[in-house]
Amino acid sequence: MLDIKTEIAKLIEGPIAAVDGVDVDEDAILAALEIPTDTANGDYAFPCFRLAKGMRTAPQQIAESFAGKIGSALPVGGMIERVQNAGAYINFYLNKDVFCRAVVSDVLAKSEAYGSSTIGEGKTVLVEYSSPNIAKPFHIGHIRSTVIGGSLANIMEFLGYRVKRLNHLGDYGTQFGKLIVAYRRFGSREDVEAAPIETLLKYYTEFHEKAKADPSLDDEARAAFAALERGDAEELALWEWFREESLKEFTDVYDMLGIRFDSYAGESFYSDKMQRVLDELDAKGLLLESDGAQIVDMDEWEMGKALITKSDGSTLYITRDIAAAIYRKEHYDFYKNIYVVASQQDLHFRQWIKIVELMGYSWASDCIHVPFGLVHLESGKMSTREGNVVFLADVLGEAVEKTEEIIREKGVLTEDERETAEMIGIGAVIFQELHNNRRKDYVFSWDKVLSFEGETGPYVQYSYARASSILSKAGEADVCAAAELYTSSNTGGGSGYFTGENAFGLAKLIAGFPETVAAAAEKFEPSIVTRHAVDIAQAFSAYYHDEQILVDDRSERIAKLGLVISARHAVKNALTLLGVRTPEKM
């Protein structure tokens, strides 16, 4: 991987090492290196303030002295063109042509693997995401966990981790008692099979309306769930049927989004594993009785009282999450166990992770909650009880239909109009979702989601399609020649072909892609990749608008095609990590 910062750090380390009493290693230098906002101050800058105390010299003098020593030793034609000081800073200026050619060589040597690493080799990372409730609608609110989690799984896998994608289905709890009662009282098997989620939602909503007038329904529902927990045949059969029918609709949406899972083991999977947790909590003196219920007192950590079992003995989410974490550690021996769950559940996660720690499990800190903000409707908060939801399948379908209309209006030539519309329309929804910081709440708007203007998925996809078009016009012979030129031992490409700011700016962004991927993984933040993809797309647009690429001079043409190929790889790799496909024509 092209690593200019490390090369610069080594140049700085030399003069520092020659000074007695100053201990600043390469890692510290790397951490201090800055990228100036004004390119007149160089491409990289090192502040000398930290050295002043140890050297007992003014930082301005240190910068001037070091800049002179480093600059005089630079090789002719190397990556660093010149070094000069500005006040207390040592500024490094790259040779544009050498840098661009080095970036292209690096990308073409790795192509689809560009930006990846082996940092996670031999380590298992679990990513739990999506996790909808069975028999409830897969609405627009579920898109956040689904695509954020899907992208994080892709990013972790790209960095060499062995990733297991988990869908912890909400397939247990008192709501199933309510649904069983509703189905028995006013349900129809034919209606459920015809439209599972829509019908089950109607039953759920109707149950709550009737329960307002007849509270005994809630008691009946609790009894039905207790029977389900005991494994009574009739309740179990209904529950399994609801689960099976719901999964059919969920799978359709996952297929549209390109989302996959290695496990659909939901809450019910851990129903026979919870007694062990209760016994262990009791044996370790963590359980307390409170009005017939069992709790863990967490006031010491300002987390209140964690309810472990209700007074009737039934378990809760927290019991099941503890059981699930223990099972996953023993089954997968995970390096990290990541939960992509709404920020509303922050206290819940802090509580159960702390309880796991109190149980004596040192790996509790490897269980990581990745929170995200909520989705609201313009008409107010979504509520499955009130039936006030926007189905995710409807959003994706609408996006595809709108895109098909645009394709026809613009006369886009494509072998498969429907498939292209799916790539662009669904890609627009995913990209828009991943463009903003995951922690922020937002209001769902049809107009915004289906807009293809500005910093959107279609805009980035278009840069890929534009690069594909340029390569197609250049012809296979020139494209192969470019690849051969930059992957051979001599990475030449001609002198002076990459001296412009647009080529240099594009190359810098492409070179920064591997670091961007690593940062997204470290912060569990796909929007870092999303925004970098927009930056590359914008830089590529500026490059091909302001410079001629398919020029008559073949040496220049082949050299420039290398940068086009590199931009195309970087854009495709970024979009792939986000879960967005790349059409060849737009």
Domain at 79, CATH number? 3.30.1360.70
Q: How far is CA 64 from CA 13, 48, 57, in A?
A: 15, 10, 11
**Catalytic status, residue 331:** no
Q: Which of 136, 168, 532, 560 is catalytic?
A: 136
Do both 31 and 154 map to the same domain?
A: no
Tokens standing for residue 350? 């802090």
Do both 370 and 435 map to the same domain?
A: no
**Orientation angle between helical segments 96-110 and 554-578, nearest 10 degrees:** 60
CATH number at residue 506: 1.10.730.10
Classify residue 230: in a domain, yes or no. yes
Do both 155 and 252 map to the same domain?
A: yes
Token look-up 């045949």 returns 233
Do both 203 and 343 map to the same domain?
A: yes
Do both 152 and 240 map to the same domain?
A: yes
DSSP-derived 3-state class of residue 312: coil
Domain closes at, from 377, 393, 426: 377
CATH number at residue 199: 3.40.50.620
Tokens standing for residue 180? 């069983």
Classify residue 298: in a domain, yes or no. no
Judge residue 582's burial from the number of C-beta atoms within 10 Å of its C-beta, 0-12 exposed, 13-18 middle, 19 or more buried: buried
Classify residue 193: in a domain, yes or no. yes
Classify residue 252: in a domain, yes or no. yes
* Alpha carbons 167 and 165: distance in angstroms, whole number: 7
Do both 218 and 361 map to the same domain?
A: yes
Q: What residues contact residue 367 under an 8 Å CB cut-off, 6+ apart?
A: 325, 337, 339, 353, 356
- Domain encompassing residue 253: 124-272+320-377
Classify residue 243: in a domain, yes or no. yes
Residue 34's region, left for phi above 0, alpha for psi from -120 to 50, else beta, is beta
- pLDDT of amino acid 201: 87
Do both 344 and 472 map to the same domain?
A: no
- pLDDT of amino acid 72: 93
Q: Which of 96, 142, 369, 560 is catalytic?
A: 142
Do both 18 and 64 map to the same domain?
A: yes
Classify residue 195: in a domain, yes or no. yes
- pLDDT of amino acid 383: 57
Tokens standing for residue 440? 């922020």
Classify residue 280: in a domain, yes or no. no
Tokens standing for residue 243? 């689960």
**Catalytic status, residue 305:** no
Do both 369 and 409 map to the same domain?
A: no
Check the CA dihedral 326-331-334-336 and report its sign. negative
Do both 27 and 175 map to the same domain?
A: no
Do both 469 and 547 map to the same domain?
A: yes
Domain closes at, from 73, 94, 115: 94
- pLDDT of amino acid 128: 98
Number of structural domains in the chain = 3
Do both 267 and 227 map to the same domain?
A: yes
Tokens standing for residue 205? 């909503």
Report, as ranges of residue numbers, the positions in the chain whose pLDDT lies below 70: 1, 379-388, 450, 489-495
CA atoms within 13 A on the CB side of 140: 25
Q: Which of 96, 139, 369, 572 is catalytic?
A: 139
Classify residue 308: in a domain, yes or no. no
Q: Which parts of 195-232 fold into alpha helices (H)?
A: 196-213, 216-230
